[in-house]
Amino acid sequence: MIMTKVKICGLRRKEDIDCVNLYKPQFAGFVFAESRRKVSKETARMLIKELLPQIKSVGIFVNENENVVAEIAEYTGLDCVQIHGDETPEYVERLKGLLGKATKKNIEIWKAIRVKNKESLKIMSDFDADAFLLDAYVEGSYGGAGAVFDWQIARDIASRHDRIILAGGLNPENVKAAVARVKPYGVDVSSGVETDGFKDVGKIRDFINRVREADEML
| Strand residue runs (E) in the chain | 5-8, 27-31, 56-61, 80-83, 108-115, 131-136, 164-166, 186-189, 194-195, 198-199
Q: Is residue 17 within 8 Å of 199, Cβ to Cβ?
A: no
Of 9, 16, 80, 188, the catalytic one is 9
Active site residue 19: no
Among residues 16, 79, 135, 188, the one annotated as catalytic is: 135
Whether 215 sits among the annotated catalytic residues: the reply is no
Side-chain half-sphere exposure of 140, counting CA atoms within 13 A: 0
Long-range pairs of 98-105 with CB within 8 A, sequence gap ≥ 24: 98/66, 98/67, 98/69, 98/70, 99/69, 99/70, 99/73, 101/70, 102/70, 102/71, 102/73, 102/74, 103/70, 103/73, 103/74, 103/78
What is the Cα–Cα distance from 80 to 191, expressed in whole angstroms?
21
**Sign (positive or negative) of CA dihedral 217, 16, 142, 70:** negative
**Alpha-carbon distance values, 210 to 91, 150, 202 (Å):** 36, 20, 12
CA gap 22, 55 in Å, rounded = 11
Question: Which residues are designated catalytic?
Answer: 9, 135
